[in-house]
Amino acid sequence: MLNVVSAEAFKSRFGRPFLTRWGEYQFLLLQILGWTTLTVISFLSLTLWYKQDELQLNYTLHTLVQSMLGVLVSWPLRGLFSGLWDKKAVKRLFGISFGIILASALWTVSRIVSFMAMTGEREIWLDFGGWIWGSIIIFIGWASLYHGIKYYQLWLLERKELGELVAKNREIQLQRSRAELVARNAQLKMLRYQLNPHFLFNTLNAISALITMNDTHRANSMIVQLSNFLRYSLDNDPEQLVALEEEIRAVDLYLRIEKTRFSERLRIEMDIDPASRSVYVPSLILQPLVENSVKYAIAPQEKGGKISIVTRLEESYCALQMSDSGTGGSELEAGRLFSESSDSRLGVGLRNTIDRLENFYGKNYVFKVTSSDSGGLSIFMRIPLTSSVNSPHALASMPSEALERF
């Protein structure tokens, strides 16, 4: 529904249509066309009908004269209606009605006077009621057409402005989406590059220690393994997804390096569902979890410990669980695991893992930390399935059933 705007606003939005040359030409053209049409109708319905043969020319001329008088009488209505545009509905209706009645009376009187002068008839005033009633009907039609045209122009303008606004909003949304994508990709890269230095520093320190002990064979083996792992890390874009089988291979490369450091102190168990190997997951999503277990569960204990990795493919999601035999369960019970101020098991690695999952899947994932049966930590992830390595944003919906784990 169109809102009634003020006269000044209407003029401004239409480029001042009442004052511009085009507006004047348009109004004059419609006036001539409308009143000419009335002339033709009057001639066909009245003049020819009564067949005034001896005065045919005068009667015909009067139909033309009364239309010319109509042009003159109706012209001021344009200014009146424009002035009433911003008034309240009651005042506006009253003003329009007054203008119609006044114009109808003036036109009726001028028509009768001119008719009497041109035809010589003198009893026309007795039919004044019929004449003025017809005039009122005509000027009601004139006012209706005038407002109908203006509202139509206003509707066209609003539709044009709405289209421009929609196009502008789309462009803004597109620019915003591009900016968000750039920011998201930058964040993903930042998160991954925060993970690698921890592992790299530990490994280099271990290699340095092996060299110091003249254990060149193990040091060389560790360098080769580190080279392979870093090559995998650099070759895989953090913005992309990789097959779980490749992720497991990367974890295996990492654990081989740590196995060189800890020897028999590090025990590894893997239970990989063959059906889950082709599932796509964020690259290096498991490595920081395993690194945290090595750092907090294996390294501090004289006897070392065990790290277990289990994967399952269940309906439309993939479940991954990594658990260790450390002491993280006591920290979880004490409420210190997720404390930002404490140097706890959560650390940068786990926080970045959560942030990466958030970036890839929004809220459509599960990340749960609990105590493992051996007293350490158990980290459970459930992520929706996707079949394209290049489509991290087009992910399947995660089922809404309750979390049931192993």
Give yes or no for a contact between 206 and 220, defined as CB atoms under 8 angstroms apart: no
Alpha-carbon gap, residue 139 to 18, rounded angstroms: 20
Question: Do residues 377 and 345 lie in contact, with contact meaning Cβ atoms separated by under 8 Å?
Answer: yes
**Which residue, chain included where needed, has tokens 């009245």?**
46
With tokens 């899947």, the residue in question is: 361
pLDDT at residue 402, as a whole number: 30
Q: Is the pLDDT of residue 324 over 80?
A: yes
Strands in 317-324's sheet, in edge-to-edge order, are 266-272, 305-314, 317-324, 377-384, 366-371
User: Dihedral through CA 34, CA 39, CA 41, CA 46, nearest 10?
Assistant: 150
Q: Which pLDDT does position 352 carry in this prediction?
A: 76
Q: Residue 318 — very low, low, confident or very high, per pLDDT cuts 50/70/90?
A: very high
What is the three-class DSSP state of 354? helix
Residue whose structure tokens are 């109004």: 27
Collapsed DSSP state (helix, strand, coil) of residue 406: coil
268 forms beta bridges with 307
If residue 312 lies in a helix (H) or strand (E), which one and from where to where?
Answer: strand 305-314
Q: Would you say residue 132 has pLDDT above 50?
A: yes
Judge contact between 367 and 355, C-beta under 8 A. no
Which tokens in the block code for residue 327?
Answer: 């002491």
β-sheet bridge partners, residue 370: 378
Q: Are 282 and 360 in contact (CB under 8 A)?
A: yes
pLDDT tens column, 371-382: 888 778 899 999
DSSP string, 225-238: HHHHHHHHHHHS-T
Q: What is the pLDDT of residue 330?
A: 54
Give 13: exposed, middle or buried? Use CB within 10 Å, 0-12, 13-18, 19+: middle
Angle, CA 220 vertex, CA 216 and CA 221 arms, to 5°:
120
DSSP per-residue codes, 240-308: SEEEHHHHHHHHHHHHHHHHHHHGGGEEEEEEE-GGGTT-EEETTSSHHHHHHHIIIIITTSTT-EEEE
Beta bridge partners of 378: 323, 370
Q: What is the mean pLDDT of residues 389-397?
A: 38
Q: Are 289 and 353 in contact (CB under 8 A)?
A: yes
* CA dihedral angle for residue 130, residue 133, residue 139, residue 145, rounded to 10 degrees: -110
Name the residue among 351, 388, 356 with its Cα closest to residue 369. Answer: 351
What does the chain come to in residues? Answer: 406
Q: Which of 121-130, 158-167, 283-292 has the highest mean pLDDT?
A: 158-167
pLDDT of residue 367 exceeding 70:
yes
pLDDT band at 11 (very low <50, low <70, confident <90, very high): very low
pLDDT at 66: 85
Per residue in 13-38, pLDDT tens? 444 444 456 667 777 888 888 888 88
Specify the pLDDT at position 400.
Answer: 33
Q: In whole angstroms, what is the distance from residue 214 CA to residue 197 CA?
A: 25
Of residues 182 and 317, more confidence is placed in: 317
- Tell which wins on pLDDT, 176 or 147: 147
Once rounded to an integer, what is the mean pLDDT over residues 121-148?
84
Instruction: Give the Cα separation of 402 and 221 in Å (integer).
Output: 46
Do the bridges between strand 266-272 and strand 366-371 make them parallel or antiparallel, or are there none, so unpaired? Answer: unpaired
The pLDDT of residue 337: 52
CATH of 215-384, one of 3.30.70.260, 3.30.200.20, 3.30.420.300, 3.30.565.10: 3.30.565.10
H/E element, 311: strand 305-314
Domains of the chain, residue spans? 7-173, 215-384
The model's pLDDT over 241-291, given as tens digits with 9 standing for 90+, comes to: 889 998 898 888 888 888 877 888 889 999 999 999 999 998 878 888 888
Q: Give bridge partners of residue 321 from the DSSP assignment.
A: 310, 380
Instruction: Judge contact between 322 and 293, C-beta under 8 A.
Output: yes
Of residues 338 and 77, more confidence is placed in 77
The model's pTM: 0.48
pLDDT value of residue 396: 34
Q: State the average pLDDT over residues 84-113.
A: 86
Kindly tell me if the per-residue pLDDT of 398 is higher than 50: no
Rg, the chain, Cα only = 44
Mean pLDDT over the full length of the chain = 76
Paired tokens of 390:
């290049």
